[in-house]
Amino acid sequence: MLSIIGAIIIGFFAGLIARAIHPGDDKLGFWLTAGLGIVGAVTATLLGKLIGLYDTGESAGFLMSIAGAVLVLFIYVQFFRKKLS
């Protein structure tokens, strides 16, 4: 449970950084960007546990959370590109 809470806190900041890294002029608001970052960090944590990078109670590191947030942001833009224009 604490690993998910840690992932949420790290993901909040990772989403802001991922938004700055992601190319393009997407019209995403602050809360949507932070939410996508949180989803990315939680995704990175769960995938890391699935492939054995993290043990129970560990969350993804900051760089892995940023990578997860960029991945989720990329997927989001691909599915909702027309709505952002």
Is the pLDDT reported for residue 83 higher than 60? no
Q: Where are the domains of the chain?
A: 2-84
Greater pLDDT, 6 or 85: 6
Q: How far apart (Å, rounded) are the C-alpha atoms in residues 36 and 31?
A: 9
Segment 47-71, tens digit of pLDDT: 888 888 877 777 667 788 888 888 8
pTM of the model: 0.71
